[in-house]
Amino acid sequence: MADVLVTATDLAELMLSPTPPVILDVRWQLGDDDGRQHYRDGHLPGAIYVDLDSELAAPPAGAAGGRHPLPAVDDLQAAARRWGIDDDVTVVVYDDYGNLAAARAWWLLRWAGITDVRMLDGGLGAWRAAGLRTAQGDGGIARAGSVTLRPGQLPVADIDEVADSTAVLLDVRAAERYRGEVEPVDPRAGHIPGARNAPTTANLDADGYFRPAGELRKLFSEVGVDEGSDVIAYCGSGINAAHAVAALEIAGVRARLFPGSFSQWSSDPDRPVETSTETPPAG
């Protein structure tokens, strides 16, 4: 499996190399539309701002694809070239929230055939904690890249495969959403029948770094995932589930992403939904 993470100090060295990486700033949180302003307030030198809603997803499609469907390959390729990505280049992505949004770019670009995509472990906070400088403002315009994307390089599961699969199905949303106690954005509360809850935030330590591989293996084993398990991960709209896929890869497990996730499932009235008052396994 390819490297998933890069440390702040290693990234600083890569940036000074003859072939520096393309760095993408993916500032996004549910309910926070100010990602570009957060980027302007401070970002890694040379980083290009990426708008998750418009560049890493197609328009919302409800029961046909959920809130953040995968973008058309031609659109993604045009965006990747606009960001300055060439074939065989290293790409580093980050945000300021534990890489919960940046993981979407990590997964999507890996799925599209870019083999060396890494997340800055600890995100912007790790960069600042290492005493490294940041830049302000809109940043420069990247030179045009020439990458050719080859989609399908990471496994996915569509809604019918999820319904019929015997795989371990992981719902990585917060426990209260999994149980159906609250549902702030999707049509119905609860979870896909048979899913086990493994909240994405448990993948991180208190400082927003990914837990070590051994800790992640233990965490996932508590919800029935072992090295040879067939695993499908979903969340609300396929964003945080990409983070779970990354954590599983660090733990040595190749998982499938359900891009439509619960936003697609819950939009189809013919798909059953379960609620639960049980507390999920501890993470």
- The domain ranges of the chain are 5-130, 159-267
Same topology between domain 5-130 and domain 159-267: yes
Kind and range of the H or E run holding 194: none
Would you state the structure tokens that stand for residue 123, as one six-digit string? 């995100």
Contact 133, 159 (CB under 8 A): no
Span 248-272, pLDDT tens digits? 999 999 999 999 999 999 999 999 9
Distance CA 54, CA 46 (A): 21
Location of structure tokens 């293996």: 217
pLDDT on residue 30: 72
Distance CA 232, CA 248 (A): 11
Q: What percent of the chain has pLDDT over 70?
A: 96
- Please state, rounded to an integer, the average pLDDT across all residues of the chain: 94
pLDDT on residue 186: 93
Choose the catalytic residue: 126, 235, 241, 253: 235
Q: Which residues, including other chains, have CB under 8 Å from residue 212's CB and lie 6 or more apart?
A: none
Span 126-183, pLDDT tens digits? 999 999 999 999 987 788 999 999 999 999 999 999 999 999 999 999 999 999 999 9
Span 213-244, pLDDT tens digits? 999 999 999 999 998 999 999 999 999 999 99
Catalytic annotation present for 168:
no
Would you state the structure tokens that stand for residue 85, as one six-digit string? 């990505």
Q: What pairs with residue 232 in β-bridges?
A: 169, 256
Span 63-74, pLDDT tens digits? 999 999 999 999
279 — pLDDT class (breaks 50, 70, 90): very low
Handedness of CA 192, 198, 199, 204 (dihedral sign): negative
91 — pLDDT class (breaks 50, 70, 90): very high
Distance CA 196, CA 48 (A): 36
Of 170, 134, 151, the closest CA to residue 243 belongs to 170
| CA 270 centroid distance within chain | 28
- Say whether pLDDT at 48 is over 90: yes
* 159-267 CATH, one of 3.30.2350.10, 3.90.1150.10, 3.40.250.10, 3.40.50.300: 3.40.250.10
- Say whether pLDDT at 283 is over 80: no
- Looking at the domain 5-130, which fold is it? Oxidized Rhodanese; domain 1 (3.40.250)
Query: Coil, helix or strand for 24?
Result: strand
| CA 38 centroid distance within chain | 19
